[in-house]
Amino acid sequence: MDLTKSIKSKAHDLGFQKIGISSPKEPLAYNDYFDEWISLGKNGTMQWLENRKEERKDIYKYFPEVKSVISLAINYYTDSENSQVKFSKYAHGTDYHIIVKQKLNALLDFIKASLNQNVEGVVCVDSSPIMEKQWAQRSGIGWQGKHTLLINDEIGSWMFLGELLLDIPLEYDKPFIKDLCGSCTTCIDACPTNALSEYHLDATKCISYLTVEHKTDFDTSQKSQLNSWVYGCDICQQVCPWNIKRQQYSSEDLFYPKQEVREYSLIDWLKIDDFSFKKIFKDSPVKRIKYDRFKRNVSAVKHPSNNVD
Ligand code: B12
Ligand code: SF4
Ligand code: SF4
């Protein structure tokens, strides 16, 4: 088997559903849009997006030797919901940064062991300064929907993205050029904070930003829009017809919800102390916001058992 095929086969064995490879040579589309988005302050307090903007726009500034971008997607769909206190699916179980990084490091080790030459690779999951959705589109995995997330026509959008950048050429896939949103605007209409317009997100209005990135107290209008989400928001994905038609259960056990996330009531969450918070969320993305911000989010949930203005 040639190297490209054996990399894809190994990636499937490691648990990735979609794998595609692209050449870094063509410059990214939408770099002007990205500049404008930042200059209009749509990134809010996510200064880290601006700090490494030039690397995001030009992958050679991040990894000058790159010759292949391997994009990988792993499905994280699970259907458990808790109606009182809502955690988005990406934060139901173990932190995807840990899981996807482990798998990508295993893939890099496999590639190194398969070759008689030196190969340099960089593992990226979310926090690396690259535009992951655009690379996945170029690698043929799917298109960016009007909610701005990447959708695959077989498994929908409940997938995390990761990349392995290599300094060796491989066989490249064709980009995904179709836009299968058509005339649909369901996600835009369903967004409770009007954060979306076509292919554009005002992060400062997004519940995901407000519950995870926003560091200070909520004002009254922000508080009234959170709709019981305490970490992230899934509404634009829940309503998307591609997810309703195509979503499949994740084969990764660690993405399934922790018992507390599934079963705790609002009163249980309001009662937890810093020690229990750290214990419950020790390997979860939720630990990132720390106890005080988690309490701020939980205290904003509207419910008869909570005295919210
Ligand atoms: C910053 C960030 C956020 C911010 C801003 C989101 C955003 N859309 O920009 C906040 C905190 C709000 C956020 C929220 C979420 N995020 Co986030 N986030 C990122 C991060 C780190 C960078 C994204 C980025 O560069 N934004 C900058 C803006 C300008 O980019 P953009 O919206 O993609 O805009 C592009 C398009 O609009 C395009 N464009 C402009 N005009 C047009 C016109 C057409 C026709 C087309 C096709 C495109 C197009 O050009 C722009 C520039 O590239 C990526 C990881 C990464 N390194 O890429 C994860 C990432 C995008 N997030 C992810 C996830 C899972 C989420 C949430 C679902 C989590 C949750 N449940 O709460 C939500 C979804 C909210 C939403 N609708 O986007 C996943 C998405 C996986 C997927 N299937 O696409 C990623 C890829 C992380 C990962 N490794 O899996 N996130
Ligand atoms: S994640 Fe929620 S708030 Fe953010 S754009 Fe989607 S529906 Fe709107
Ligand atoms: S809800 Fe409709 S417009 Fe939004 S991403 Fe899905 S198909 Fe596209």
Predicted local confidence at residue 1, as pLDDT: 64
pLDDT-derived band at 276 (thresholds 50, 70, 90) equals very high
- Residue whose Cα lies nearest atom 8 of ligand 3: it is 181
Q: 261 burial class (0-12, 13-18, 19+ CB within 10 angstroms)?
A: buried
Instruction: Give residue ranges with CB within 6 A of ligand 2.
Output: 147, 191, 193, 195-196, 201, 206-208, 233, 235-236
243-263 per-position pLDDT tens digit: 999 989 999 999 999 999 999
105 C-alpha vs ligand 2 centroid, how far in Å? 32
Position 255: which residue type? F
152 C-alpha vs ligand 1 centroid, how far in Å? 15
- ∠ CA 141-142-147 to the nearest 5 degrees? 140
Task: Enumerate residues 6+ apart whose C-beta is below 8 A from 124.
Answer: 104, 130, 132, 162, 163, 164, 165
Report in angstroms the alpha-carbon separations of 308 from 107, 220, 224, 226: 48, 10, 9, 12
Here the tokens at position 78 are 């699970």
- Active-site residue identified among 58, 79, 109, 126: 126
217 is catalytic: no
Q: SS3 for 117?
A: coil
Taking the CA atoms of 270, 274, 280 and 284 in sequence, report the sign of the dihedral they define.
positive
Query: Which ligand is nearest the CA of 186, by number?
Result: 3
Average pLDDT, the chain: 95
Whether the per-residue pLDDT at 303 is higher than 80: the answer is: no
Dihedrals φ, ψ of 227, to 5°? Answer: 55, 40
> What is the mean predicted confidence (pLDDT) over 163-186?
98
203 C-alpha vs ligand 2 centroid, how far in Å? 9
